[in-house]
Amino acid sequence: MKKLATIAVAVLALASCAPKQPATVAEYEYPFQNPALPIDERVENIISLLTLEEKAGLLQDGTISIDRLGIPAYFWWSEACHGITGDGVTVFPQSIGLAASFDEAQQLEIYKAVSDEARAKWNMTEPVFNKTHANCNGWSHGLSFWCPNVNIFRDPRWGRGQETCGEDPFLAGVMGTATVKGMQGDDPKYFKTIACGKHFAVHSGPESKRHIFDAHVSARDLWETYLPAFRMLVKDGHVQQVMGAYQRFEGVPCNASDKLLGEILRGKWNYDGVVVSDCGAIDNFYVKGRHETHPDAASASAAAILAGCDIECGDNFQDYLPEAVKRGLLTEEDINCTLRRTFRELFKLGIFDPAEGNPWKDFGPEVISSEKNAEIAHEAARKTMVLLKNEGAVLPLKAGLKKIAVVGPNADNTYMQLGNYSGTPTDEHTLSIVDAIRKQAGDAEVFYCKACNHVTEETEGNVDLAQLSADVADSDVIIVVTGLTASLEGEEMEVPYEGFCGGDRTRIELPSIQQDLVKAMHATGKPVVVVNCSGSAIAFGGIEDQYDALVQAWYGGQAAGLAVADVLFGKYNPAGRLPLTFYASTDQLGDFEDYGMKGKTYRYFEGKPLYAFGYGLSYTTFEYGKAKVKGAKHVITIPVTNTGSVDGDEVVQVYIKALDDPDAPIKTLKGFKRVNIPAGATVKVKIELGDRAFEYYDAAADDLSVKSGRYEILYGSSSNDEDLQSISLTI
């Protein structure tokens, strides 16, 4: 099998004919081809062999090939938001759903599986030669993946929030770091793949203005809200790529920001990896009607390189960097500095080495969409499910039901389950929600009707609700599967319906046609269970009294249908928790374009949400005992007892409140752990807070620092005050 990771000329044989024993130096035409040499020496050699035009062509998302040196093209842009892209791959739950699991260990396991499939796909890919211009015809065929997205989901109207880990910086940092570690691996010589933290920084909509928007925030919001997750990726995860955002920050495009890329990322954090631009972001510098901060493509390209941007998703670097050098806008050595970072990553991926030393050389088609990975996806989907309401213990469904009605636009919609930035799973691993319910319903009749489309303005497919009510009147329970799809919320797209704009939403209420459906089903007098599938928070405040139970199912990936049915029929005890606030209505939100955090997210919102951050129910009950904090690392030990009759997981959460800092968040998550507790058992849950838990913005340092003073450590099952106990602590 041929490998793109080998050189296809005399200097290096393809993997199928690579030497069995280590080659001698004499067998290599150039030092860069010798895997026994230090990487820095190999990097300097390969750079010395290139012309200026070739160097420029190697700084694109899709590089040119250097055929005279046997260097194939490489495609920096691959996607693995929740599974690699392509057909017949394993599709895990969308990132926002994985965040709802509050399971760091599972996150690591998932992205180990994702990177397994990535290496297998790489091994099946032929080298690309005779490529003379930057284009992405090899998209998603590389080993560098543009995930995770750790932007803060500060406002539920943002369409791309589904790609994130929610509204909390600590949760985003923990889950994002686990993603990075799973993708990059722990081999001492090679990166398994390369992960990319995006979008740096202060980025979360609006999608319709991302090419012209200028974000301004206070220093406090910058350091306490928008940067911590990225810092964790860099400091703890050792992420190898960071992607600059589209918009301007304080008047400067993020991909040319000395403050973001120079002062903070490469300065304070000592980041020495690669920075990539988002696709077309350099165009924004000079294209009329966008940022227009630079006069032309050459000056824009030079500014990005000098600020520390290394790879452009686009064509400007190849087309205009040589011109920029000739005009004196930068030097060839400036370009060499950039190439040192990019080539170092390619060498660390094993791109130029024989296959024998590659730990993943034998991964093949059997790894992709394997039964093992399907089981991981199924368990992951189960763990994402959040039970938000369960009046009268209508769930789990009781045995002996005669008729179950399943209605709603997402009930038989497997496309919806995938979310955005998704591959396509195999049919054998995918069931719709209604089909999964049929599979588990036993002798019960399952009546199904789509009932309506997703939004009011659509009419085709909508049925007469009076007739539908009559059809389901003899049901024992009615399951209404509501929500959105990635064609309604997502990245910069046209959505021609009221309440939607450019991929974002202007209102967060469940679309009115679906509200009407829920109300009609409630009017039958039968128990109503709403299963909501969306990548963002839905406001149910106007119809909260119209359903008996509510399950938030997100976009659960290929196994979403199975996971929903498992929860409904009691085969799985739900324990997911909300990674973002579910507000009662749009009226509780502020200005979408205001990036200041006042009034936003549980950390600053002073109103009463419908369902709070960190909230979620179970089929059992838990009781928290008195916790203790000990040691210099501030280890908190919390006794938790399962007081119910069934085994279950509990997500133990720890928040910090700074009593001597009036501008600090109301409370902020600083620790969590998902633990399984058998019925009747007590588990002592230990969470190490460390010094970082007490870091807040320090104006003197223009950074975070540990602040002395009085604190409350709050611990419990959600961010709701009534769900928390407290311990006083002075630092």
- The two three-digit tokens of residue 414, written as one number: 């497997």
Residues with Cβ within 8 Å of 359's Cβ and at least 6 positions away in sequence, in order, are 187, 190, 192
Please name which of 77, 82, 80, 109 lies closest in space to residue 95, comparing C-alpha atoms. Answer: 82
For residues 450 and 378, the answer to whether their CB atoms sit within 8 Å is: no
Q: What one-character DSSP code corresponds to residue 238?
A: -
CA separation for the pair 560, 97 (Å, rounded): 11
CA separation for the pair 537, 506 (Å, rounded): 13
Residues with Cβ within 8 Å of 85's Cβ and at least 6 positions away in sequence, in order, are 78, 79, 140, 421, 422, 423
579 residue type, one letter? P
- The two three-digit tokens of residue 163, written as one number: 């790609």
Residues with Cβ within 8 Å of 649's Cβ and at least 6 positions away in sequence, in order, are 383, 573, 575, 618, 674, 675, 676, 677
82 residue type, one letter? H
Please name which of 696, 697, 668, 652 lies closest in space to residue 603, comparing C-alpha atoms. Answer: 668
CA separation for the pair 329, 297 (Å, rounded): 12
Please name which of 134, 221, 104 lies closest in space to residue 688, comparing C-alpha atoms. Answer: 104
Beta bridge mates, 724: 716
Bridging pattern class, strands 710-716 and 648-658:
antiparallel
Please name which of 727, 58, 135, 3 lies closest in space to residue 344, comparing C-alpha atoms. Answer: 58
Phi, psi of 287 (to 5 degrees): -70, 135
Q: What one-character DSSP code corresponds to residue 136?
A: -
Q: Is 278 a catalytic residue?
A: yes
**What's the per-residue H, E or C state across 243-265?**
EECCCEECCEEHHHCHHHHHHHH
**Matching residue, tokens 């991981």:** 376
> With b meaning 16 or more CB within 10 Å and e meaning fewer, what string describes 678-694?
eeeeebebebebeebbb
- The two three-digit tokens of residue 439, written as one number: 């599979």
CA separation for the pair 264, 49 (Å, rounded): 33
Distance of CA 401 to the CA centre of its chain: 39
Helix (H) or strand (E) holding 122: helix 104-123
Phi, psi of 51 (to 5 degrees): -80, 165
Residues with Cβ within 8 Å of 676's Cβ and at least 6 positions away in sequence, in order, are 647, 648, 649
Residue 572 sits at the vertex; the CA angle it makes with 437 and 393, to the nearest 5 degrees, is 80
> From the candidates 155, 167, 168, 278, which is the catalytic residue?
278
- The two three-digit tokens of residue 676, written as one number: 């399984």
567 residue type, one letter? V
> From the candidates 61, 489, 566, 650, which is the catalytic residue?
489
Handedness of CA 407, 412, 414, 415 (dihedral sign): negative
**333 burial class (0-12, 13-18, 19+ CB within 10 angstroms)?**
exposed
The helix, strand and coil proportions of the chain, stated in percent and rounded to the nearest 5, come to: 35, 20, 50
**Matching residue, tokens 């199904």:** 448
37 residue type, one letter? L
Active site residues: 278, 489
